[in-house]
Amino acid sequence: MMAKHATILWGHSRLVVLLFIFVLHFVTYSCKSDAEILLKLKESIADDGALSSWNDSKPPCNGDNGNWVGILCGNGTVLGVKLENMGLRGVIDVDVLKELKNLRTLSLMNNKFDGSLPNITRLVALKSIYFSGNQFSGAIPNYVFDGMFSLKKIHLARNKFSGEIPQSLTTLPRLSELMLQDNKFDGKIPQFQNGILKLFNVSENELIGEIPRSLRDMNASSFSGNKDLCGAPLESCAPALSIGTIIIVTILVTLAVAALIAVVVILSQRKQLPEQEQATVSPPGYRKAFSTNLNKVEQGTASPEHGTNGKKGNNNMKLIFLQDDREKFNMRDLLKASAEILGSGIFGSTYKAALNGGQAMVVKRFRHMNNVEKEEFHEYMRRLGRLNHQNVLPIVAFYYRKEEKLLVSDYMENISLAVHLHGNTTRGRPCPDWPTRLSIIQGVAKGLSYLYNELPSLMAPHGHLKSSNVLLDRSYNPLLTDYGLVPVVNQDRAQEYMIAYKSPEYKNNGRITKKTDVWSLGMLILETMTGRFPSSFFQQGSKGNEADLVSWVESMVKEGNTDVDRVFDKNMGRKDKSKGEMTKLLQIGLNCCEEEVDKRWDLKKVVERIEQVKEMDTDQEYNSRGLSK
């Protein structure tokens, strides 16, 4: 979240940033001398005498010269602390360092410092950090580089850092040197802007995936020794299967299975049939059905050539765009695009397709979407296509065939909330912290509220709200997807699988209400705050199980406030100063999950309450306010 704010701030104007730094200088101005500050810093460092010149006999600076070892001076003040090759251990007290108001450079190269990266976020004026050759370890949280707009050089090589390379590094406008070699970073290399990095090295890590285009001119040795990196300047990535191929393969496999079943059925019938009928019934009929199917596939999806030129295919191949301001591409581009399966849901699979221009789109296949006729479907899609809100993912285009529909939308860099809550943590995806989760929930609430206003005729305007349908863009801004589909999905499918139909009111009374999406939102809040997956979503026809997460949270919250900590996802961090507000959000979640619809809050109230939740506790009274409903 800080990243987002920082980016916005940057976008506003550099003036604001300069002002900010100026004000910060002013506020942090202290009467302590540089000597006092450095001696305080020395207290937490084990130096074995290496810093003995740091004593009261002389001041640290004499004009532009340093009297103390490792101190860089300018005009009598400390500009840099350069403690290299000294066998130092211990702790770098950043709170003390931040009082050196002119500190531009901090070097701890080749010592024995360990633990996590010192939180340099507070040293706003810093231009270079050289921490290479230590024992620092663990993942680097994204916020460490947020707002560090002066940073030019970051050297973290030869440590034991793990997790993903922080995205926030890509927001630093002046970054020219980034040395991360010989660590244990994993995941993909984030997208750096073109041309700002002069020195870059990520060799000897555990990185995977394609090297971003902006780094293709770097030396190949900057990328060597990684797990699975590809693309220029290394060898090109194995050509990904094209989406056309994937679809053809899927369809052929389905057909093959069908054919096998047909053969089995035919063979078993054969046994029962009188001799003379056998010849007419089986082989020709079966062959005919198979080839018609194959033809259909070719005209419909598989072969763009037939589709665009052929007589029958013409209608079939048309991708209908719902957004005027978008660059147009056609079905042929989409089929040719290299694609990657993102997941397979209950309605069909989801693919990421990279178009020729490098733009990534997501293509979702929907089967079982024949609740309305073709004309009505087109009309309805146009209506959904007109929706426009920052928390609602626009449908860019769609493709209609009776057997299946494709919905095309933009690819979101951070995939979905579900991935971040339940994804494989060893892949090093940063787990969203509390402020991020709060802002995600606030965005979801806004998006939902917008859908309620724009689709008033729908009982459940979203209908399928769950963490995998909350997509996250590169700044973790949430966007709802798969909304408004209840009217077009086959009713039996909808009732069996869609989240709205998992609600207590549907289970108890067989109906959904205007408060059903509120219940889904409540479940989403509990899932986001606890990190626990509401398992009942996956179990079809389970009765009353959806209450599991709810009753667990309820019991934890009621047991007494001291225990409430255990409810929160451990990966969320930052608890002490925010516990009251976190509990508030949890309580809102519980209110949304109220089984009795009459007692459940309506969306308007829920949105209001969620808006009121703050990142930090504004008072410390939550302990006495009580937590039961």
Ligand X SMILES: *[C@@H]1O[C@H](CO)[C@@H](O)[C@H](O)[C@H]1NC(C)=O
- Tokens describing residue 302: 């598989």
Of the listed pieces 51-59, 189-197, 544-552, 555-563, which binds ligand X according to CB under 6 A? 51-59
Query: Are 107 and 82 contacting, i.e. CB atoms less than 8 angstroms apart?
Result: yes
The residue among 202 and 494 lying less far from ligand X, judged by its C-beta, is 202
Near ligand X in 577-606, by CB under 6 A: none
Contact pick of 12, 14, 58, 287 for ligand X (by CB under 6 A): 58
Name the residue nearer to ligand X (CB basis): 204 or 454.
204
Edge-to-edge strands, sheet with 206-210: 114-115, 135-139, 160-164, 184-187, 206-210, 228-230
The nearer residue to ligand X, 121 or 205, going by C-beta atoms, is 205
Buried b (16+ CB within 10 A) or exposed e, 21-44: eeeeeeeeeeeeebbebbbebbee
53 is a site residue for ligand X (CB under 6 A): yes
CA-CA distance, 340 to 351, in Å (whole number)? 5
Q: Nearer to ligand X by C-beta: 64 or 95?
A: 64
β 135-139/114-115 pair status: parallel
- Give, as ranges, the residues between 285 and 324 that touch ligand X (CB under 6 A): none
Between residues 67 and 293, which has the closer beta carbon with respect to ligand X? 67
Q: Does 7 bind ligand X (CB under 6 A)?
A: no
**Between 61 and 397, CB nearer to ligand X:** 61
Q: How far is the CB of 93 from ligand X (least distance, A)?
A: 21
Binding span for ligand X by CB under 6 A among 67-75, 333-341, 529-537, 563-571: 67-75
Instruction: Count the residues of the shown chain that bind ligand X, applying the rule CB under 6 A.
Output: 16
Residue 486 is encoded by which pair of tokens? Answer: 């209840």
User: Between residues 203 and 467, which has the closer beta carbon with respect to ligand X?
Assistant: 203
Q: Of the listed pieces 54-62, 83-91, 329-337, 603-611, which binds ligand X according to CB under 6 A?
A: 54-62
CA 403 to chain centre: 32
Q: Binding of ligand X at residue 55 (CB under 6 A)?
A: yes
Long-range contacts of 315-320 (CB under 8 A, 24+ apart): 316/401, 318/399, 319/397, 319/398, 319/399, 319/406, 319/408, 320/378, 320/381, 320/397, 320/398, 320/399, 320/400
Q: Please report how close the Cβ of residue 68 comes to ligand X at its closest, in angstroms.
A: 7
CA dist 547 and 534 (Å) reads 9
CA distance 258 to 264: 10
Residue indicated by tokens 């020219």: 176
- How far apart (Å, rounded) are the C-alpha atoms in residues 253 and 598? 49
The residue among 52 and 193 lying less far from ligand X, judged by its C-beta, is: 52
- Does 159 bind ligand X (CB under 6 A)? Our answer is no
Per-residue contact flags (x/-) with ligand X for residues 253 to 292, judged by CB under 6 A = ----------------------------------------
Nearer Cβ to ligand X (56/596): 56
- Name every residue whose Cβ is closer than 8 Å to that of residue 61 and which is 6 or more positions away in sequence: 34, 67, 71, 73, 76, 77, 78
Position 34 contacts ligand X (CB under 6 A)? no
Structure tokens, 324? 């005027």
Determine the residue type at 511.
Answer: R
Taking the alpha carbons at both ends of the chain, their separation in whole angstroms is 30
In whole angstroms, the minimum distance from the beta carbon of 20 to ligand X comes to 21
Only one residue has tokens 């004000």, namely 23
CA–CA gap between residue 515 and residue 587 (Å, rounded): 17
Residue 364, annotated ligand binder?
Answer: yes
How far apart CA 130 and CA 165 sit, in angstroms, is 17
Q: Which residues within the stretch 187-246 sit at the binding site for ligand X (CB under 6 A)?
A: 201, 203-204, 219, 221-222
Q: C-alpha dihedral over 169, 171, 176, 182, to 10 degrees?
A: 10
Residue 132 contacts ligand X per CB under 6 A: no
**Per CB under 6 A, 160 contacts ligand X:** no
User: Contacting ligand X (CB under 6 A), which of 11, 15, 26, 57?
Assistant: 57
Closest approach of ligand X to the CB of residue 393, in Å: 39
Least CB distance to ligand X at residue 206 (A):
14
Choose, by CB under 6 A, the member of 5, 10, 20, 67 that binds ligand X.
67
Find the shortest distance in angstroms from Cβ 256 to ligand X.
49
How do 105-107 and 338-344 pair as beta strands?
unpaired
Burial label for 12, CB within 10 Å (0-12, 13-18, 19+), is exposed
65 binds ligand X (CB under 6 A): no
Helix (H, G, I), strand (E, B) or coil at 153: strand
- Nearest-CA neighbor of 154 among 213, 201, 88? 201
* CB distance 591 to 629 below 8 Å: yes
Distance of alpha carbon 468 from alpha carbon 456, whole angstroms: 24
Residue 203 vs 449, nearer CB to ligand X: 203
Half-sphere exposure of 495 (CA within 13 A, CB side): 10
Residue number with the smallest Cβ distance to ligand X: 74
Beta carbon nearer to ligand X, 40 or 609: 40
* Nearer Cβ to ligand X (219/309): 219
- Under the binding rule (CB under 6 A), the answer on residue 182 touching ligand X is yes
Q: Which residues from 327-386 bind ligand X, rule CB under 6 A?
A: none
Least distance CB 18 / ligand X (angstroms): 18
To ligand X, the closest distance from the beta carbon of 91 in angstroms equals 22
Shortest gap between Cβ of 108 and ligand X (angstroms)? 18
Binding region for ligand X (CB under 6 A) out of 48-56, 134-142, 467-475, 603-611: 48-56
Site string for ligand X, 74-103 (x = CB under 6 A): xx----------------------------
The 10 Å Cβ neighbour count of residue 496 is 14
Residue ranges binding ligand X (CB under 6 A): 52-53, 55, 57-58, 67, 74-75, 181-182, 201, 203-204, 219, 221-222
Cite the annotated binding site by residue number: 364
Cite the annotated binding site for ATP by residue number: 364
